[in-house]
Structure 1
């Protein structure tokens, strides 16, 4: 019989303790299976539940802003005390619903991780390749080339077999359009653990929204500090997308900047002699490596408008305070009262300046990118030391440009083309100033189009003062359309006589120029919806699509009845083409109809139907024009409607 003594007891106790300590540290030795891609719950036997306490592990991206198609290092850290863990699983998910998995992981050189294929995508998740204890793991994640927005790395980390945390989140990482590589944290730099990070939201889990309290930024606006942001008058409603404030105490000039868009790559404030971009002193607040960096930059004049830090002294400002919470950028910067940049003096004490607030989603190598979130200059220059309420620069000319172009190309052009194509043999015998009715009203429509287009063209250049800096084909298409519109009436003045051999060439050229200009104008209006300054809603596209469908259907109906009107139109194609061309008043006293003369004092068949359909077309067309003009004039219409309710 085996006898226990103190030595044997201690030996057995060590075996038991070793067994107890060995079993819990084990995770699945070959990593998480792909069946848990959605839940990220470890498939551990025994029915163990995830821990509900604050996890002792950190998920740390090496930078908070990165460009499309670039590589980011992500560390899984064992907290501030280097706690061991055996297993893990990590994904990058879109911060917005439906929280899909984003990007790909690269294979690790140390072999401590293996890649997983979740949601039918390759290498978009990673897990441990062995269950040996480890204090940290580094992975490389490749950003998608077709994604803009914020991602959060979510991880499941198993400290022991029955002790694990699910969905540990990282700080948000902003994916932006960026041509330069992100700045990486040194290998030894670790972000301290922050238990107040955004909680993990599992896929398909419903979320609830609550009304946000007023932001403390607005406290003191108009009383102790001057505040200005966009959209215009947003400070009053406390609904700004980006806002800046000035606080002056003696010769101390402090500026606060904040962007409320969680996908912003920067927020900036410019000091300008006018309300246009160019030759301005700019303060930039840019997230970098989980912190905020402040820069001074200078905007060059036209034609290549851009902000650059090159040649701008960076010792004339000081970053006093900052925060980066849920992608919201905030910074407080103190400036020197006098700064000289490129031989230009900015004297904040003795000079008045317009405030230009801007925010965007992209960065450049030597400055901020385009202000695609928004930009607004103040209406008048101000003495920064005088606390006051500011309004934005007037957008009247911008709205008039859009309204005139819609009235011209959706309204009068569409009607004028319809009259010239289908009403040459209608209202026969009725003339105005010796001209057929169809020709008179066609000319009225086209002269109106020409006048509105030329005025709108001049207005937009007066408003912008230069070529548009947006990466949008709207401007170049608008110039081509305006040129075609400009030459149309000039060609009509010099049109050959009806019996001239050159008349057919004019007819086709006039028809082609008019229709091409009409099509280009509508395409140009579609591109206008994407312009930042226009502030048009995306659903305006559906109103334009509705107009196009209606316009095409009416043309098809008229074309069918035109074929019915011309006997044998399918066999005598030449006569059909002749009727459909722009004859511009060249019809003689008779028109050919199936080889027979149609008297000029008689309307062509189906005249009553054509007139009735024309009445319907004019009413519906007017509704489309009014709706589109209201959207343009009231833009941003969502904020306008919200403030009126």
Structure 2
């Protein structure tokens, strides 16, 4: 009997200790820095989160607030949650929550606003606490509200802070911000883009513009500006077909307010990713209308949200379809969504069918550091003409002209050396005379003049395409700056060629190096400019086009290296200018003139022919790629 009494006493003491320790007293509930006696506090934003059903509020609006667990084994035990203004005052009121087996209490602050808390939890912990907050008594000048919570778990107080809840602006009112429009010139540089139509270069005049920026390896920021009166959005598809996709929709209601929804869509009928929580999985989502445009911004995790948010009583099971969530860490297809029709109809939410092709054969990798430029339509005619003319001018004509000028002055010289031989074949004299047939100098000026003409025509084509406006962005800036340098050099080369002085004089030496510098600079910069243009927003050719041009550059280098080695191995003879007829050092009756053979005159033209043939094939392939480019 005594043993039993001792056992009961011990059990009573243990039960008393458990009861005492299971009750938590929150101090300073109405202040941002709530405390619990005997517990240390720490930042809990990586353990818990506060989700809101909307990102905007109006007076008397009801906002669903969800305090949820992020990490496993950190269930929500005792907690306190409240809404604060920018001065740290509690605002608004919470409704009485209906949560089984959980007694939630209200605490009224001096200004009449309320906070809710639970100081005793019998269960091992909840994964989610659903609450409802009302913007009752909120001052009309209050623009932003912050929800803060304190969560007790594992004898530790975790402080949690939600993203800001902003006041809903009247229709037509645009908040002050520097990113209301999308700078298309930054596409492919600091952001990826999807533009409709592709040749549009002003976001304010485009039908649809989407940009995205990877904030880190797990998150991306999206920005949509579209000409629509109903709703806009973006679809993420696992294949090249519409249907069974995850879409983000920004819909305008009858009052002109824009709400952001995370949804699934089978064909035309969308449904929420998380039933009862329209913006689940999105952060910092905001949308508004501005005249004919709807503007929408949101931050989305690249990883699929696989947390099914099941509470201990399994009340939330089945509210989210985990199988249909897309993992944007893997390449996915994207397509634009925009419409003037209302999203909500008498038959429910419906997305009207749009004849806008999905971004085919170009899955987007949102984690890729080289930003994508995705376009569902092809480049403009002027942009294609600009590309074709520059390819013909610099890959074909300029390369051939430079090769001939540098290595064929001895094979096809302007002045040809001839020798005088007697009947036995012995050389008795020599002569130097101007060639009556073509020479390297009769070939080079027409070629470089043609290059200059084609380059300037291409330049005016792209000026008309850009509406005579200079482009910005690092990628486009270098393409433009280097292109202007090439343009100036192409203009100067023929003019300098016309001013050619008498050969083998001091002015000729100065002229030679100036002309060589201008032509070499133009040719050396023109090919990189073409490379940059092939990876441009207005004409983003397939990757194999860049590899083809790169292979041609290697081929060009090998051919030039062969010619250069041959030129170094054989000394070149200099020919003086003959002003009056032919001169002989020695002349006798019966002697005849024989043309002197030049080293390489047999195989060098053959190699040049092969070079021109390969170059012509490469140019034709690149031209066909430009002509048949239809965007992707």
What TM-score do you get using the length of structure 1 for normalisation? Answer: 0.44
Q: Which structure: larger Rg?
A: 2
Considering Cα pairs closer than 8 Å and 6+ residues apart, tell me whether 1 or 2 has the greater RCO: 2
What TM-score do you get using the length of structure 2 for normalisation? Answer: 0.45
